[in-house]
Structure 1
Amino acid sequence: MPRQSPVPRVRVGCAGWSIPTGCAALFGEGDSLLARYATRFSVVEINSSFYRSHQRRTYERWAATVPAHFRFSVKVPRTLSHDTGLVGAGPLLDGFLDEVAGLGSTLGALLLQLPPSLAFDGRRVAAFLGALRRRTTVAVVCEPRHASWFDPRVEALLQRHGVARAAVDPARLPAAAVPGGAAAPAYWRWHGSPRMYYSDYAETALAALAAEVQRHATVNAPAWVIFDNTAQGFAVPNAARLQALLADPTDRAARQG
């Protein structure tokens, strides 16, 4: 019987699976970029789904490329998060969830990033999350960007629907820098600071993040960290450095499995 890889307590990865030329030595061999990426990291965020749909068989192919312990976080399409304003989204949810079902057990989370203009409306959000939860039990992570979302009543609503709130950098306000909502997964999205998508993170910032992640991560509430500063190739070395700072033996064993 094949050896089962342990489930990582902390998952570290990037938005997309591009590998900068200068980082090639960090990865093992593979038949594709995704296969090589998965020799190092245990999670990846699919952001292209925000802009366009992918056929179910495309997701199936990606799932077949990675080891069993690997997980995908898939960004909810902008037609749902931005264009509809979370209203009347049932048919669109059905189509999207049918597509991502192709990932099977490697589908780890759905990422709902909301537009900065979308203020919190309790009735609207409850209806949308209720519709989503009637259709899937997959972990859901929300990244709100309007100040009205950082309020105890929002926390209660997210927890009631089992939705985590991502911690982001740069943060628009202090509360946005720490995870909220449901406990699992504790989820960080670091976009690059001070220049989003471009800036490299200094050692001091990564060390502080490692300490924060270790405080949150438990067996029952794993931590996920995604680096989105991909424009100049800093996401991969930042993610690799965070792995070293965390020095988590379970995560190392999973990557070697």
Structure 2
Amino acid sequence: MEQGSIHIGTSGWSYKDWKGVFYPGKMPSSEWLSYYAMWFDTTEINSSFYHLPRLQTALNWSNKVPAEFSFCPKMSRYLTHMKKLQDPEEPMSRFFEVFDPIKTHVGPILIQLPPSLKYNKAIVSNFFNLLQHTYSDYDFALEVRHVSWLNEEAITLLKKYHVAWVISQSGVGFPYAEYLTAHDIYFRFHGPGTLYNSFYDNEMLAHYARKFKKWAKAGHALWIYFNNDYYGYGIDNALTLKKMMDIL
């Protein structure tokens, strides 16, 4: 079986406290993405969760990275947190008006759900059906925050529609399960202690590196992101993991 691809990065790249830690101190922020892309081949776009970027902004981003670089934008919270996946047609259309023009640079779309959103088969089936029939050119990854999703029916639906289950590692009790529901495996490191503000030691990273190698050997494409962005912890952890995976 052909070895699967491995993509490792961080949940965004534009953090002021990375200046002097990762980004050279005198480097203007307009050059940060290009510099980041010298070290990593992917990043999440966290800002799209709060407000959609202008099309020109997305085009500018795509022009600052190599051809093989992938952005994984987070779906708008208007759809996930306010509409709770119901009546998704209009917000999905607006989202892809921005990202369709840079499709060659887009990896899996991250759909992060709120902790209050319980599993509902009818709503989820309708939403996944839209993804399959209208946005079949894209891959999707679903991050749940409510334990009601940890059931066989929900996982069967994800497998049916080839939506990746996001494996969320955290120290705060986000639902954790290593469900492999699609060709893509999407993994997020949120911090082993305090959310976003704690550091993974080498022992824990080595533990996951062994899993990742096994999954890649089985042919899965891996998308791995560090969301512990404070003080550049995520950068340090991501670079360490790349070394462990022999891709740095």
Q: TM-score, normalised by structure 1?
A: 0.86
Q: How many Å separate the matches in 2 of 1:142 and 1:172?
A: 19
Matched position secondary structure for 1:168: strand
State the partner residue of 2:168.
168
What is the CA distance between 1:135 and its match in structure 2?
A: 2.1
1:133 CA drift (Å):
2.3
Partner Cα distance (1:206, 1:116) in 2: 26
**Alignment partner, residue 114 of structure 1:** 113
Are 1:9 and 1:218, in contact at CA under 8 Å, matched by a contact in 2? no
Alpha-carbon distance in structure 1 between the residues aligned to 2:4 and 2:56: 27
Structure 2 residue aligned with 1:154: 154
Q: 2:195 matched to which residue of 1?
A: 196
What CA distance in whole angstroms lies between the structure 2 residues aligned with 1:31 and 1:179?
38
Ranges in structure 1 where 5+ consecutive residues have no aligned partner: 1-6, 253-257
Which amino acid is the alignment partner of residue 116 of structure 2? S
Verify the 8 A CA contact 1:188 1:224 in the aligned structure 2: yes
1-side partners of 2:132 and 2:243: how far apart?
Answer: 36
Separation of aligned partners in 1, 2:134 and 2:149: 24
- CA separation in 2, counterparts of 1:8 and 1:197? 28
Q: C-alpha distance in 1, partners of 2:45/2:4?
A: 19
Alpha-carbon distance in 2 for matches of 1:157, 1:197: 30
Question: Shift of the alpha carbon at 1:101?
Answer: 1.2
Name the aligned partner's letter for residue 51 of structure 1. Answer: Y
One-letter amino acid of the structure 1 residue matched with residue 53 of structure 2: H
Identity in percent: 29
Distance 1:245 1:186, change over 3 A: same
Residue number among 13, 20, 31 corresponding to 1:17 in the alignment? 13
Distance 1:178 1:228, change over 3 A: same
Tell me what 1:255 maps to: none
Counterpart of 1:85 in 2: which secondary structure? Answer: coil
Contact 1:75 1:111 in 2 (8 A): yes
Q: 1:171: how far off?
A: 6.5
Deviation for aligned residue 1:178 = 2.1
**Equivalent in the alignment of 1:37:** 36
Query: Which residue in 2 is equivalent to 1:52?
Result: 51
- Could you report, residue by residue, the CA deviation over 1:65-97 in whole angstroms, capped at 9, with x for unpaired residues? 111111110000000111001111111110101
8 Å contact kept, 2:147–2:175: no
| TM-score, normalised by the number of residues in structure 2 | 0.89
Q: For the Cα contact (< 8 Å) 2:23–2:35, is it kept in 1? A: no
Correspondence for 1:228 = 227
Aligned residue runs from structure 1 range 175-194, under 5 A: 176-182=176-182, 184-194=183-193
**Mapped contact 2:172–2:194 kept (Cα < 8 A):** no
How far is 1:232 from its partner? 2.3
Q: Which amino acid aligns with 1:176?
A: Y
Measured at CA, do residues 180 and 224 of structure 1 come closer, stay the same or move farther in structure 2, by a change above 3 Å? same
* Paired residue type of 1:13: G
Name the stretch that deviates more: 129-138 or 199-208: 129-138
Q: Give the Cα separation in 2 of the matches to 1:92 and 1:175.
A: 26
Q: Distance in 2 between matches of 1:197 and 1:125?
A: 29
**Does the 8 Å CA contact 1:49/1:76 hold for their aligned counterparts?**
yes
Instruction: State the partner residue of 1:4.
Output: none
**Unmatched 5+ residue regions in structure 2?**
none
> Partners of 1:145 and 1:132 in 2: how far apart?
21
Which segment drifts farther, 129-138 or 224-233? 129-138
Q: CA deviation at 1:132?
A: 2.2
> Does the residue aligned with 1:131 lie in a helix, a strand or coil?
helix
1:78-157 to 2 correspondence within 5 Å? 78-136=77-135, 137-157=137-157
Q: Distance in 2 between matches of 1:223 and 1:117?
A: 28
Query: Shift of residue 103 of structure 1?
Result: 1.8
Count of aligned residue pairs for this structure pair: 238
Q: d(CA) in 1 for partners of 2:212 and 2:13?
A: 22
1:150-178 deviation line (CA, Å, top 9, x unaligned)? 11111110011110011111177697242
RMSD: 2.1
Moved beyond 3 Å, runs of 4+: 171-175
Structure-2 change in CA distance of 1:173 and 1:198 (3 Å): closer
